[in-house]
């Protein structure tokens, strides 16, 4: 089984992605697609007069501050426009896709963090009313039911808190938790870069291979949103996923290209070309 | 099995609706919820600078002209904000809800009508680029899979065309087609009126009972959006659904109230209090 996570940044070619996924699905491959929608959420939030607010944690991670109004805009874009746009593309290609958020069947569950620490002008502030969390539990029953019946699940944040409240979670780490729970042989994280770069943004400095036992030591090369991908990759390979591939979602056949070794492969040496 | 269709008009109490549905679900009733989102779609479309455009057909039905940008806004509101808002409410109440559009698993399928006739200033004009249609086929497999596994499906337009294109369909008639396909004993259509009124908007003029064989002759009492509900009811009872109830979604326990006979019941005399 292959879990394909595709980001929500600018430059991603969703038509090419869906064509490639449709070809693999028709060849009998079991696939799950997980997607984001951050760039479009920013655009819609601006247009609706509730512009996005990003915060930086004391440990250096950037995330969206998600009040109630923001989680509703987030759901409009992630679960509405993006998710149904992808499902429609796949249905047009003859793939029986089913789009779900982490709320549906509580596929993605985790703890609701109502308050978050933010570094502003060198000072740490505590912000309340946040709808965020991290996926701690993947309820695979619904996903397995869909896969066993020939459907292709298309998953997206938000997740559900243990109390059933919608929470914004990182999609890369959600995909890593899903790959771990389903014991996938491959987790792919596609975005608008060719993989992990030694000298970001120089695309010629691609790191082709990272030994599974040594992921943490490559964290220093990750910029911005790549940090969560490397963190997710470390969690996935530690959790038993065969390999994680960071690939390019701007090209024709992005999934097949990554499967054939393009991008950055994180694996035990034995699994690198699995 | 009970199919509950709830409209997207102003004044509907979704919290009360979900509490009532949760109680029935926990008592072992098999339920499916179908919802709309028209009022909120109008609000968001205005805010995004793409205001809604309504057209009136030569036969007097009002519908939304749905170009590509409109269907995306429609999906944001129906499949994003409304659908996930309802799923979240149900999950918080301990109901394992799963939200789907008609695109997912092609639950609702029909013909894509690209052009539509509109009466403007007494003249009939032909408009192109419309993403509308009518549900002609209900693919029940995914819904039955969910019901058999304890999930409560929460369904919403759009539907899928036979080519996999997203099409705006009337939710009342989609619910009627679903009830027919699943041989439901009860289809309930809840909105912001107490039922079919003999003298709209006088709420004291409620019509309590309509014989199944005589629905068409009551069409004259239906105003605006109620027309599609009466049409859907006629289709459902003709298709074998035991009874259709037009009920009030602004009250506490709207589903239980309708089940106990409040509202307008459309049925054979024998099934009226089924």
The per-residue pLDDT for range B69-94, each reduced to its tens digit, is 999 999 999 999 999 999 999 999 99
With b for 16 or more beta-carbon neighbours within 10 A and e for fewer, the B34-62 pattern comes to: bbbbbbbbbebbeeeeeebeebeeeeeee
In sequence order, what are the beta bridge partners of B266? B210, B244
Q: pLDDT confidence of B63, banded at 50, 70, 90?
A: confident
- Across residues B211-224, what is the average pLDDT? 92
Q: Which domain holds residue A243?
A: 2-271
- pLDDT confidence of B270, banded at 50, 70, 90? low
CB-CB neighbors (< 8 A) of A149 in chain B? 141-142, 145
Cα angle at B153 between A150 and B52, to 5 degrees? 105
Of B47, B104, B151, nearest to A99 by CB-CB distance is: B104
Q: Is B64 annotated as a binding residue?
A: yes
CB atoms within 10 A of CB B199: 10
Query: Which chain B residues touch A if contact means CB-CB below 8 Å?
Result: 44, 47-49, 72, 75-81, 83-85, 87-88, 90-94, 96-101, 103-106, 141-142, 145, 149, 151, 158, 160, 163-166
How close is the nearest chain B Cα to the Cα of A159, in Å? 10
Strand partners, A118: A125
Q: If you write DSSP's letter for every residue of A26-44 in order, what string do you get?
A: HTT--EEEEE--HHHHHHH
What percent of chain B shows pLDDT beyond 70? Answer: 98
Nearest chain B residue to A162 by CA: give it.
B92
Which residue of B80, B97, B104 is in closest CB contact with A77? B80
Q: pLDDT grade, residue A8 (50/70/90)?
A: confident
| Residue B20, phi then psi, degrees to nearest 5 | -65, -45
| Residue from A82, A87, A165 whose CB has the most chain B CBs within 10 Å, to mutate | A87
Secondary structure of residue B210 in the 3-state scheme: strand
The β-bridge partners of A248 are A191
For A162-201, b/e burial (b = at least 16 CB within 10 A) is: eebbbbbbbbbbbbbbbbbbbebebbbbbbbbbbbbeeee
In which band, very low, low, confident or very high, does the pLDDT at B25 lie, cut at 50, 70 and 90?
very high
Q: Dump pLDDT digits (tens) for B46-60.
A: 999 999 999 999 988
User: ipTM higher than 0.90?
Assistant: yes
Give the list of residues 6+ apart from residue A270 with CB closer than 8 angstroms, or none: none
Residue B81 to residue A84, Cβ atoms within 8 A: no
Q: Would you say residue B274 has pLDDT above 80?
A: no
Query: Where in chain B does DSSP place strands (E)?
Result: 2-6, 31-35, 54-56, 62-64, 97-101, 108-113, 116-120, 123-127, 132-138, 152-156, 159-161, 166-167, 186-191, 209-211, 243-248, 264-267
What is the pLDDT confidence band of residue A271, given thresholds at 50, 70 and 90? low
Q: Using CB atoms, which residue from B76, B98, B160 is nearest to A105?
A: B98
pLDDT at A7 > cutoff 90: no
Q: What tens digit of pLDDT does each residue of A116-142 get? A: 999 999 999 999 999 999 999 999 999
* Cβ contacts of A90 on chain B, cutoff 8 Å: 164
Contacts of A75 in chain B (CB under 8 A): 80-81, 84-85
CA dist A31 and B266 (Å) reads 46
- pLDDT, one tens digit per residue, over A180-237 is 999 999 999 999 999 999 999 999 999 999 999 999 999 999 988 898 899 999 999 9
Q: From start to end of chain A, where are the E strands?
A: 2-6, 31-35, 54-56, 62-64, 97-101, 108-113, 116-120, 123-127, 132-138, 152-156, 159-161, 166-167, 186-191, 209-211, 243-248, 264-267
Known binder of ligand: residue B168? yes
pLDDT digits (tens, 9 = 90+) for B247-265: 999 999 999 999 998 999 9
Pairing verdict, β A123-127 and A116-120: antiparallel
Q: Give the mean model confidence (pLDDT) for residues A81-89.
A: 98
Q: Which residues pair with B244 in a beta bridge?
A: B187, B266
Q: Which of A91, A103, A145 minimises the CB distance to B88?
A: A103
**One-character DSSP codes across B117-131:** EEEETTEEEEE-S--
In angstroms, the separation between the Cα of residue A143 and the nearest Cα of chain B is: 11
* CATH number of the domain encompassing residue A122: 3.40.1160.10
Out of B97, B145, B151, closest to residue A149 by CB: B145
Residues 6+ apart with CB under 8 A from B222: B196, B229, B230
Q: What is the pLDDT of residue B11?
A: 87
Number of domains in chain B: 1
Nearest CA to A107 out of A147, A59, A68, A69 is that of A147
Please tell me the predicted confidence (pLDDT) of residue B84.
98
Bond before A201 cis per omega within 30 degrees? yes
CA distance B210 to A36: 49
């Amino acid at each position: 089984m292959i879990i394909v996570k595709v980001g929500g940044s600018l430059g991603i070619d969703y038509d090419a992605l869906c064509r490639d996924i449709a070809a693999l699905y028709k060849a009998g491959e079991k696939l799950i697609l997980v997607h984001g929608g951050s760039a479009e959420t920013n655009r819609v939030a601006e247009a609706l007069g509730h512009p996005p607010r990003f915060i930086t944690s004391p440990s250096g991670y950037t995330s969206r501050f998600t009040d109630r109004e923001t989680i509703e805009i987030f759901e409009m874009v992630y679960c509405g426009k993006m998710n149904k746009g992808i499902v429609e593309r796949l249905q047009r290609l003859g793939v029986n896709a089913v789009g779900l958020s982490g709320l549906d069947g509580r596929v993605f569950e985790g703890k609701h963090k109502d308050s978050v620490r933010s570094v502003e002008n060198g000072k740490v502030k505590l912000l309340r009313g946040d709808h965020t969390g991290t996926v701690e539990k993947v309820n695979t029953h619904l996903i397995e039911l869909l896969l066993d019946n020939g459907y292709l699940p298309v998953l997206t944040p938000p997740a559900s808190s243990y109390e059933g409240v919608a929470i914004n979670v990182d999609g890369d780490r959600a995909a890593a938790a899903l790959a771990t729970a389903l014991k996938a042989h491959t987790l792919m994280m596609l975005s608008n870069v060719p993989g992990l770069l030694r000298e970001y943004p120089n695309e010629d400095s691609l790191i082709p291979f990272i030994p599974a036992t040594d992921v943490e030591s490559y964290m220093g090369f990750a910029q911005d949103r790549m940090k969560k991908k490397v963190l997710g990759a470390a969690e996935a390979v530690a959790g038993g996923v065969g390999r994680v591939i960071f690939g390019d979602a701007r090209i024709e056949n992005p999934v097949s290209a990554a499967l054939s070794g393009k991008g950055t492969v994180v694996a035990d040496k034995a699994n690198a070309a699995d």
